[in-house]
Structure 1
Amino acid sequence: MNPRTKIKHVRALVAKGGEGGGGADYHDQGEGHWIDNHIATSMGRYPEYRQSRKSFGINVLGTLVVEIECEDGTVGFAVTTGGEPAAYLVEHHFARFLEGRDPFDYETIWDQMYFASQYYGRKGLVVNAISGVDLALWDLMGRLRGEPVYRLLGGAVRNELQFYATGARPDLAKEMGFIGGKLPLLHGPIEGDEGLKKNVAWLAEMREKCGPDFWLMYDCWMALDVHYATRLAHACQPYGLKWIEEAISPDDYWGYQQLKKQVPPGMLVTTGEHEATRWGFRMLMEMECCDLIQPDVGWCGGVTELLKISAMADARGIMVVPHGSSVYSYHFVITRHNSPFAEFLMMAPKADHVAPMFHPQLLGEPVPFNGRMNVSALDKPGFGVELNPAVKLRRPYVRN
């Protein structure tokens, strides 16, 4: 393969809607899945949207697949969320900054995509689309060089990854070899003191089942205010809560700054899953909003931007533990000393066994065994995964 080949085509595809089944839009699960079962959200103030996150539309966007094809026929691809709106942006705006270009000019390509869309973007859906393009570029570069992405990022700094598990059954996660378990918070402020007591009781139950040394964390998914989050943190202190995650709105930097000062000593405040770009994370770090940042490489700007975010964090002694994102974060985490462990989302409906995060859309997606993954599992060109031909994709905005 010719490493100096030019980009010929950019294609944006979406998964066929209306069938559920996960993929990059991993919230799009069937009935009864733990990921959609009475989890606290900022929409919990409305009774009709309290039981299910899908009821208020968490799964409306769907999966975006970006394919970048070179003149020599080499194709790199990546998946993220964004669906048809993001596909429109890729085809009708961002493709102009790629087609005819050297794929290794990823810095210029990222810069042009971001600043060309700054007047309507900066975060959210637009940066999701940019992230998908950027990840596809890194996959393409790895395939052109015949090397895994982690080697393009400087090589592994350890021989294996170790994981904590996010899911409804940390007690089962411990049996599977994970170093910790992160629970979804089930009850928000609108459910009052009774809901708070239930949250603490569930943590206490899991602590009893998991023993004193297993990490337990709470994922609050932007559902709380500073007062409630502070009360929850102190109520959970006797049960060894390691961290409280994304407790309040991602735009409330001042609230995070206040919360970090008010939690019990030794308890970490973490956030960043829904933050984007080096500027957003600079705000979190300079205002001392948290102890650990959690960018999602499929949402924060891709690998190109995550490298910048991580460098800023490293200079401040802040850990970077990316949110989920499977192989797209594994190749990054294995190369960074300030990313000492990784998150694994338990996609099994009952969180009772290990299942690939982006099933069924990806083939060859590695998963941890006994809570760990040897670097050899990542030793394939690019990100080392392929699209499942059995999953129907369509290209809503055909240009060429």
Structure 2
Amino acid sequence: MSGDSTIRAVRLTPVAFAEPPLRNSAGVHGPAVSRLVIEVETAGGAVGLGETFGDPAVLAAAREAAQRLPGVDVFDLAGLGRVVGVDPLVDGQPDITGPAEVREPGTFAGTTRVKAYSAFEVAFLDAQGRLLGRPVHQLLGGRVRAEVEFCGYLFFKFGAHPGAPVDDWGEVLDPAAMVGLARRFADEYGFGALKVKGGVLEPDAEVETLRLLAAEFPGVALRIDPNAAWTVPTSIRVAESAAGLLEYLEDPTAGLTGMAEVAAATPTPLATNMVVTSFRQIRRCVELGSAGIVLADHHFWGGLRATQQLGAVAASLGLRLSMHSNSHLGISLAAMVQAAAVLPGLDYSCDTHYPWTVEDVVDVAGAPVIKDGRVTVGDAPGLGVTLDRDALARMHERWRRGGEQARDDVAAMRRHVPGWVDRRPRW
């Protein structure tokens, strides 16, 4: 392989992968998740990989950029920004000075172009690493930890998608069933922290879930995220009822001002990835005291370098960091590991949906492995993962049959519960 770092080809492959019917405050995950796999090939033969959301708007932005990227150098990240038409540090969501609009869980953050830029930036860095024979974490200044700790992400769920057989996980719709799910996660992955996706059951039932988990897993850190399903009074009541059980409470209610009211009423730390999703919103969050923990996510903060900058800003303002997750494949997990490896102020284990991922586009030989709740930060060039071409083709064909569709948890829920309405706050 020569060292020519000029891009000669860009390949975009939308894929759809199977996912269980996982519940959240908006509704439920559908049977297939759309993602976009990006390949950036240099004249020297290096291929860099990226992964992002697969909704139509992001696809359109990525396709537009892909046409203009041949001839750009993969070391020219400023040039990438010009091609995509975005500066990830200033072109995120506008500043919020009042209550924030409540958006769909996991799909609300960042602008379309920032999401596209982030995936291309990861692919550029992956290609750089492959050309230089260096892991991405070295390109970002070097790792500060040899392992990245992850949190077991627990969902209430239906037993099956409509018309399908009951899946391997079974139905999880009450506190006792959630404890059984957590036991399986702990046994298979060794997680030292567990997060409950809340906003599904009545608040008292979710507090009971936390109590049962605390009793079953003494010493394991617990967190819950109801995605703004609760009013301010309900959030305060839950925080009081769960006193001593939680390492943090994530986005219990909507908006910076609502979160500030809850934060002022409870010693339990509040975390967010709904009211602080861009650099412009951090100042107002600090002024109001809305949250003390920000959940980083390179997919919508502007890439791996922007995530590093988020860490520096957070440290200067006394904020702490955790890491957000959405439904993802192994390319994104590998990128998350590289980002987490270089963040000195990463105070909490990272969220990940990866245990729910039953198929992947990366070759199993190099796929990240969660063992004892951690992923080892390797020294393979770039991200350290390679594509499984057969799996990529299979998942692309599934996407092609389904067509371009945005994620819609409400529509998916209506197939289980006709007439379902996404109403937040619900309690």
Give the TM-score normalised by structure 2. Answer: 0.72
In structure 2, how many angstroms separate the alpha carbons of the residues matched to 1:202 and 1:331?
33
Matched, 1:12 2:12: yes
Asked if residue 221 in structure 1 is aligned to residue 227 in structure 2, the reply is yes
Question: Which position in structure 1 is the counterpart of 2:362?
Answer: 362
1:180 maps to which residue?
193
Q: Provide the rounded CA distance (Å) in 2 between the counterparts of 1:187 and 1:119.
A: 33
Give the Cα–Cα distance (whole angstroms) in 2 for the partners of residues 365 and 255 of structure 1: 41
Separation in 2 of the partners of 1:166 and 1:309? Answer: 23
Cα distance, 1:75 vs. partner? 1.4
| Paired letter, 2:259 | Y
Distance 1:331 1:157 in 2: 11
Structure 2 residue runs of 5 or longer lacking an equivalent are 95-109, 156-180, 326-331, 401-427
- Equivalent residues in 2 for 1:238-249 (5 A)? 240-249=245-254
What residue in structure 1 maps to residue 318 of structure 2? 317
Structure 1 match to 2:166: none
Please report how far the alpha carbon of residue 128 of structure 1 lies from its aligned counterpart in structure 2 after TM superposition: 1.9
Aligned to 2:71: 100
Q: Which amino acid aligns with 1:183?
A: V
3-state SS of paired residue (2:271): strand
Q: Where does residue 214 of structure 2 map in the other structure?
A: 207
Gaps spanning 5+ residues in structure 1: where?
Answer: 22-28, 44-49, 189-194, 350-356
Cα distance in 2 for residues equivalent to 1:10 and 1:282: 38
TM-score (norm 1): 0.76
Of 148, 152, 166 in structure 1, the residue corresponding to residue 135 of structure 2 is 148
Q: Which residue of 1 aligns with 2:113?
A: 126
Q: Residue deviations 1:21-66, cap 9 Å, x none?
A: 1xxxxxxx14xx5xx14x3x1x3xxxxxx4x3439xxx67x11112
SS at match of 2:345: coil
Alignment of 1:250-329 (within 5 A): 252-263=255-266, 265=267, 267-272=268-273, 275-324=276-325, 325-329=332-336
Q: Which amino acid aligns with 1:226?
A: V
The alignment-based identity, stated in percent, is: 22
Residues 222 and 131 of structure 1, relative CA distance in 2, 3 Å threshold: farther
State the distance in 2 between where 1:229 and 1:216 align.
17
Distance in 2, matches of 1:164 and 1:207, equals: 15
Do the aligned partners of residues 275 and 385 (structure 1) sit closer, same or farther apart at CA in structure 2, a change above 3 Å counting? Answer: farther
> Cα distance, 1:273 vs. partner?
6.2
| Secondary structure at the counterpart of residue 306 of structure 1 | helix
Q: Note if contact 2:323-2:351 (Cα within 8 Å) is conserved in structure 1.
A: no
Q: How far off is 1:223 after superposition?
A: 2.5
Partners of 2:358 and 2:316 lie apart in 1 by 33
Q: Report if aligned partners of 1:161, 1:341 keep a CA contact under 8 Å in 2.
A: no
Deviation at 1:348, TM superposition (A): 4.5
Q: Which residue of 1 aligns with 2:414?
A: none
CA shift, 1:269, in A, is 0.5
Q: 1:108 to 1:93 in 2, by over 3 A?
A: closer
Aligned length: 346
1:235 is matched with 241
1:373 corresponding residue in structure 2: 375
The aligned counterpart of 2:389 is 389
Instruction: Please tell me whether the aligned partners of residues 330 and 342 of structure 1 are also in contact (alpha carbons under 8 angstroms).
Output: no
Per-residue deviation, 1:334: 1.5
Match 1:54 to one of 18, 26, 30: 30
1:257 to partner: Cα distance: 2.3
Question: Contact (CA 8 Å) 1:86, 1:129: kept in 2 or not?
Answer: yes
- In the alignment, is the contact (CA less than 8 A) between 1:281 and 1:309 conserved in 2? no
| Counterpart in the other structure of 2:147 | 160
SS of the equivalent of 2:390 reads: coil
Deviations 1:300-320 (CA, angstroms, capped at 9, x unpaired):
211132122121012223222
CA RMSD of aligned residues (A): 3.0
* Pair 1:12–1:276, CA change in 2 (3 A): farther
- 1:262-306 alpha-carbon deviations (Å, 9 max, x no partner): 22x2x1101126854432445434543212111221222111321
Write the distance in 2 (CA, Å) between the matches of 1:286 and 1:362: 43
CA-CA distance at 1:209 after TM superposition: 0.9
Secondary structure of the structure 2 residue equivalent to 1:92: helix
